[in-house]
A and B are shown apart, each in its own frame.
Chain A
Amino acid sequence: MDNYLNGILVLVLVLNLLSLGTSRINTIIKAVSVQGALLGVIPFVVHQHLTLPAIIVAVMAIALKGVVIPLVMVHALREAQIKREIEPMIGLMPSIILGAVATAFSLLFASQLPLASEHVGKLLVPTAIATVFTGFIVLITRYKALTQVVGYLILENGIYIFGMLLIEAMPFIVELGVLLDLFVGIFVICIIANHINQAFSSMDTRRLVTLKE
């Protein structure tokens, strides 16, 4: 079982680097949707005896993160008629290197953390930390509104991985609430991103500088 889990988590890490290394927004959205769907599979791998609510939450997660949210974003992308993230703050190659360094750091850092004995030596915690870092890198270094939304999704995915350690602590209704909030949040943010596109004829957030001291 652990082998499957680690296999999934390595894929998640690879997808992190992939989303840092592409300028096509379509590709980033696809990478993150695959990542979200993979995360939804984890509960089936970790727990042999899943309760019905846990299965519902996992299926909802796969459906929302793997299908519905990416569709919303692709729709917004088509309306805005943009394809690429041109000239990010730091280039694609440096982004990948930064992502790799963050991943290595997370592995080292996680081995120092005081973890419960059953989690020592597993990839769950380092992957969670590395994914949170990747989300932050995308959020900070990309300028297109939609790419920043993807960064937020990656960040949220990282937190979701950490949540895997605590499946017993989170009640069904709260997990559903978290997923629903994520979906509505992305929906609202995409609407605003489209309004940015209409008002400024661009999704470049560098144009949002009228409000300052």
Chain B
Amino acid sequence: MEFALIATPLLLAALSALIPSNRLRPWLLPVAGVVHSVMTAFLMARPEVSAGSSWLYLDPIGRVILPLVSVLYLLCSFYAVGVLHYRHNQANRVFCVCLISFLGIMTMVLLSQHLGLMWVGIETMTLTTAPLIYFNRTPQSIEATWKYLLIGSVGIALALLGTFFLAYASLHQGIEPTLSIEGMVRNAPMLSKSWLHAAFVLLLVGYGTKMGLAPMHTWKPDAYGEAPGVVGAIFAGGVTSCAFFALLRVYHICLAAGEGAYISRLLLVVGFLSMIVAGLFMVGQRDFKRMLAYSSVEHMGILAIGLGIGGPALFGTLLHVVTNGLTKGVLFLSAGNIHRAYASKNTDQVHGAIHRLPLSGGLFLAGFLAVTGSPPFGPFVSEFSILNGAFDGGHYATGGFFLLLLLVVFIGMGATVLRVVQGRAPAAVNKSPYREGLLTTVPAVLLMMLVLALGLYIPATLTALLNDAVRFLKV
């Protein structure tokens, strides 16, 4: 079953390369999305169908993140069909092949129980996503792709070195070296401490680059700014969640090794730095897509802080992966619509989105409120739970500073969002023939409803999944 979950999207990607029509080919995206989510649901409901492979299976952390990625991808895939229909003259073969195979690779990362295999998956993910940024073929998008590829590759190379260091930490102590997660966690208390510390730093830098934690975030505003909105949604909700998942693996091993205090200090520093950088660059940001990129940097920072606090904040941190992923979907999809209608992403030209595009403008505003942690939306619950964890654990200064930075981000982001949403749209934009279509709005509406639902009521099954994952991490 696990194997099929990875192979089906890859086969569909190969199939999409064979379809000659630019109009028909995008429909394979939702096909992949539907098949993948049905299979995921099946695997979640009946874990006994698992193939029993020791390298690929769904563990409690994967059970939290895989459904998120699957649902996000499913909704984004319909949106992508809508977008590609607007531009049916532009060749989309590479785009579709990469976007579909990306689903398979992402699944491989989330299922892999071996640090080496996971690394291969994340590196392949970098390669399949680079052409997505380059879709618009402008000089700016080349620049963004180049920065993403180079910074991403170097970061990932450091993560490989860190993985080797982890293996060496057991070799040094005379233990049979292994990179399987289970074996590493079992051997963790015996690992050489100095090699483990060095490995953690390298892996934090490496996977932190993919997550977009400051100061390794520099590719992110460029890439998110130049990529189509739907790619931004998949990046901010999918790629970053997978990179965070990789970091969670390492966190798990370090925790089992009894090194919680050492890594939590590093995570807090990187997390706060990310929030500070994001806050600074969001104030006065004119490009609303770059603003969303900084919001993603901020939320990766929140995740790192949540891990750094650990213990009582872990539940909230894992919940935040889910709520942030869904909310980023709403924001990027609606931002994509606004960008298309105005042919600009600069707030000097973009005003009055709520009149010109009532649905997308409204969703953009609601998404902003949600992502900054306003009630009654999902991120409010998860951020509140992280904050609660901080105070419960006696980290008063950490909690207070966290709250302050959330406020700075709210003000900075709010100014830009309000400039986009309010006011009067330029006359030329009002006359442009662009209309909101079903395919490009319904997915964002559904995502927004999920975000709202998670804020009002967290289903018992989700709570159980999250509690399982927390217990799994702590053992």
For residue A106, CB closer than 8 A to chain B, the reply is no
Contacting pair A184 B194 (CB below 8 A): no
B161 partner residues in chain A, CB cutoff 8 A: 132, 159, 162
For residue A185, CB closer than 8 A to chain B, the reply is yes
A177 partner residues in chain B, CB cutoff 8 A: 116-117, 120, 124
Contacting pair A169 B149 (CB below 8 A): no
Candidate in B127, B131, B176, B194 with the most chain A CB atoms within 10 angstroms: B127
**Complex alpha-carbon distance, A189 and B164, angstroms:** 25
For residue B177, CB closer than 8 A to chain A, the reply is yes
Number of interface residues of B (CB under 8 A): 46
Contacting pair B146 A205 (CB below 8 A): yes
**Complex alpha-carbon distance, A115 and B177, angstroms:** 14
Q: Choose one: A115, A163, A208; the contact of B172 (CB below 8 Å).
A: A115
Contacting pair A169 B177 (CB below 8 A): yes
For residue B298, CB closer than 8 A to chain A, the reply is no
B171 partner residues in chain A, CB cutoff 8 A: 116, 165-166, 169
Across the A-B interface, the 4 shortest Cβ-Cβ residue pairs: A174-B116, A169-B177, A177-B120, A169-B167
Candidate in A155, A171, A196, A211 with the most chain B CB atoms within 10 angstroms: A211
B130 partner residues in chain A, CB cutoff 8 A: 188, 192
For residue A168, CB closer than 8 A to chain B, the reply is yes
A152-B153, A166-B167, A200-B139 are known contacts. Are A178 and B160 too (CB-CB below 8 A)? yes
For residue B426, CB closer than 8 A to chain A, the reply is no
Per-residue interface assignment for chain A, residues 185 to 213, with 1 indicating a CB less than 8 Å from any chain B CB and 0 otherwise: 10011001101100110000100101101
Contacting pair B120 A174 (CB below 8 A): yes
- Minimum CB–CB distance from A164 to chain B (whole Å) comes to 10
Per-residue interface assignment for chain B, residues 113 to 135, with 1 indicating a CB less than 8 Å from any chain A CB and 0 otherwise: 01011011001101100110010
B147 partner residues in chain A, CB cutoff 8 A: 208, 211
List 4 additional A-B contacts (Cβ < 8 Å) besides A165-B164, A177-B120.
Answer: A155-B154, A169-B170, A200-B139, A211-B140
For residue B178, CB closer than 8 A to chain A, the reply is yes
**Complex alpha-carbon distance, A123 and B236, angstroms:** 43
For residue B59, CB closer than 8 A to chain A, the reply is no
Number of interface residues of A (CB under 8 A): 39
Contacting pair A152 B157 (CB below 8 A): yes
For residue B168, CB closer than 8 A to chain A, the reply is yes
Candidate in B171, B179, B192 with the most chain A CB atoms within 10 angstroms: B171
Chain A residues within CB distance 8 Å of chain B: 114-116, 132, 139, 145, 148, 152, 155-156, 159, 162-163, 165-166, 168-171, 173-174, 177-178, 181, 184-185, 188-189, 192-193, 195-196, 199-200, 205, 208, 210-211, 213
For residue B174, CB closer than 8 A to chain A, the reply is yes
What residue in chain B is nearest A184 (Cβ atoms)? Answer: B127
What residue in chain B is nearest A210 (Cβ atoms)? Answer: B140
Contacting pair A178 B143 (CB below 8 A): no
B177 partner residues in chain A, CB cutoff 8 A: 166, 168-169
**Complex alpha-carbon distance, A178 and B122, angstroms:** 11
Contacting pair A210 B143 (CB below 8 A): yes
**Complex alpha-carbon distance, A159 and B170, angstroms:** 18
Per-residue interface assignment for chain B, residues 140 to 171, with 1 indicating a CB less than 8 Å from any chain A CB and 0 otherwise: 10111111011001100100110010011011
**Complex alpha-carbon distance, A155 and B301, angstroms:** 28
Q: Could you list 20 A-B pairs, sorted by A, with CB under 8 Å?
A: A114-B172, A139-B150, A152-B153, A159-B161, A162-B161, A162-B164, A162-B168, A166-B177, A168-B176, A173-B117, A174-B114, A181-B120, A188-B127, A188-B149, A192-B145, A199-B142, A208-B146, A210-B139, A210-B140, A211-B147
**Complex alpha-carbon distance, A26 and B123, angstroms:** 27
What residue in chain B is nearest A199 (Cβ atoms)? Answer: B139
Q: Choose one: A115, A148, A159, A169; the contact of B150 (CB below 8 Å).
A: A148
